[in-house]
Amino acid sequence: MKKILPLLLLIISYNAMAQKRIGNETDAQKKKRMEWWTDARFGMFIHWGLYSGAARHEWVKHNEKIDNAGYQKYFDQFNPDLFDPHKWARTAKAAGMKYAVLTSKHHEGFCLFDSKYTDYKATNTKAHRDLIREYVNAFRAEGLKVGFYYSLLDWHHPDYTIDEIHPQSPADKSDASYAKLNKGRDMAKYRQYMRNQITELLTKYGKIDILWLDFSFPRKDGHGKGKDDWGSVELLKLIRKLQPGIIVDNRLNLEEYKDGADFETPEQVSTAELAKYRGKTWETCQTFSGSWGYYRDENTWKTHRQLLDLLITSVSNGGNLILNVGPTARGEFDYRANNALDSLATWMHANSRSIYDCTFAPDKFKAPEGDKLTYNPKTGRLYVHLYYYPISGTLTLPGYAGKVRYAAMLNDASELISKPSDTNPQDLVLTLPAKKPGYEIPVIELTLQ
């Protein structure tokens, strides 16, 4: 007993911790609130700001240790003459995306919206207007759900204290150097600034579907930032009060609360890692090319196949994919992004039924070697994503005999003749189209018994 007691106490206190709550929503209510998002599965992230002009990573201010004066040229130059949010929205919709999240403010501190609390905003650039409002109107008009990203970090605000990752972080990392740099800076004022701005974002633009707050990096030595720096509990209460239906990410550092976040955000992880998230509520955020902001010289763009794999693997593990575009400083998606989105549009036009409303397959169905399954619990249909098109012209589905009522290609609804295998009668053998359909990863739709 002596040995077990500490263990028991640990388990009890862990459970008590996990049960801590900020609000009083039930699991069923949360499920209902999140339903549209869970069904949607695919969204567009948009990182756009002054860094788009530097065109070498949205962290350029940090990476090159630029101060406010040195960064001013990007503000002075900002002039998105080709900005057409309706075109953005149509492109997102055509690619099959159901929602979007745009950076209202990134770590650099620049606001795309007309905030009363700063001059560092789009209205004071050559754009002369509230770009967030135009985005909201355009995306809403296309029937897409609308979200805002808002950076908790702010490398421009005079009260935001200098921490480990601030561009002006001291070289020697000593407490004395931090103290010297932070003289006169007051996080309480910055917290109020954030509350004011988030209030603006959540009261001046109608119904906002998602708020993506980014990010926490608590450190023992005090030179990071976490829930106390942001006033996270109070902030989340405010957000839920202003927009009761809103969906909020998990970067406020409120892990100890059961309702401190609505979804997890595995960032830029490999498809192999996504299996770990099965059973949780999550959205993986991914770039086309490594950087979130427009990066002219970054050329390691993911292929169409890699992007499809991300989407399919997310859904086959019960999660969402939010894929990022970094528009140029002129306000356009560049040709590489457009090409990638066009290819996705072609695939989604024919195959989106294996994505929307879908999740992982019931355990009794195993994917044929190398392929991936998704499943729609509402319609009872199972989808086999053919990663490797068999040259034999047939596909064996292990243990599926007697479980399938009808088999067809998803892209053209053409029937696939099926029969139990001669050698192993539990298996079902499908005869596939002689020639691989014109999709990188074709999909079979199985209507189950």
In the complex, which residues of this chain contact ligand GLC (CB under 6 A)?
47, 58-59, 214-215, 267, 285, 292
214, two tokens: 């980014």
Return the H-helix or E-strand segment holding 196: helix 187-203
CB of 383 to ligand GLC, least distance (A): 28
CB atoms within 10 A of CB 60: 21
- Please, which residue, 213 or 429, has the CB nearer to ligand GLC? 213
Quote the least distance from Cβ 203 to ligand GLC, whole Å: 24
19: exposed, middle or buried (Cβ count in 10 Å: 0-12, 13-18, 19+): exposed
Looking at the Cβ atoms of 134 and 283, the one nearer to ligand GLC is 283
CB of 291 to ligand GLC, least distance (A): 8
Q: For the CB of residue 264, give the shortest distance to ligand GLC in the complex, in Å.
A: 12
CA 130 to the chain's CA centroid? 24
| Phi, psi torsion values for 215, nearest 5 degrees | -150, 175
Nearer to ligand GLC, 60 or 409 (CB): 60
* Euclidean distance between CA atoms 179 and 183, whole angstroms: 6
Sheet holding 394-397, edge to edge: 394-397, 428-431, 418-420
Shortest Cβ distance from residue 252 to ligand GLC (Å)? 13
Q: How far apart are CA 320 and CA 390, in angstroms?
A: 29
H-assigned helices in 243-280: 271-274
Token pair, residue 357, equals 């409303």
Instruction: Please compute Rg for the chain using Cα positions.
Output: 24
- Closer CB to ligand GLC, residue 329 or residue 429? 329
The CB-of-266 to ligand GLC minimum distance in angstroms stands at 10
For residue 107, the minimal CB distance to ligand GLC (Å) is 6
Q: Closer to ligand GLC at the Cβ: 214 or 229?
A: 214
Q: Which is nearer to ligand GLC, 254 or 446 (CB)?
A: 254
| DSSP secondary structure of 285-307 | EE-SSS-SS-BTT---PPPHHHH
Strands 247-248 and 381-385 come out as unpaired
Token reading at 73: 């040229």
Question: Which of 59, 71 has the CB closer to ligand GLC?
Answer: 59
Contact (CB, 8 A) for 201 and 150: yes
**Shortest distance in whole angstroms from residue 214 CB to ligand GLC:** 5
> What is the closest distance, in whole angstroms, from the C-beta atom of residue 285 to ligand GLC in the complex?
4
Between residues 58 and 154, which has the closer beta carbon with respect to ligand GLC? 58
Nearer to ligand GLC, 46 or 407 (CB): 46
Partners of 250 in the β-ladder: none
Task: Write the CB contacts of 278 (distance below 8 Å, at least 6 apart in sequence).
Answer: 317, 318, 360
Q: Given the DSSP bridges, would you call strands 210-214 and 145-151 parallel, antiparallel or unpaired?
A: parallel
User: Scanning the structure block, which residue is given the tokens 């869970």?
Assistant: 38
Q: C-beta of 148: minimal distance to ligand GLC in Å?
A: 12
Q: How far out from the chain centre does Cα 90 lie?
A: 19
Tell me the backbone φ, ψ of residue 180, rounded to 5 degrees. Answer: -65, -45
Q: Which is nearer to ligand GLC, 53 or 442 (CB)?
A: 53
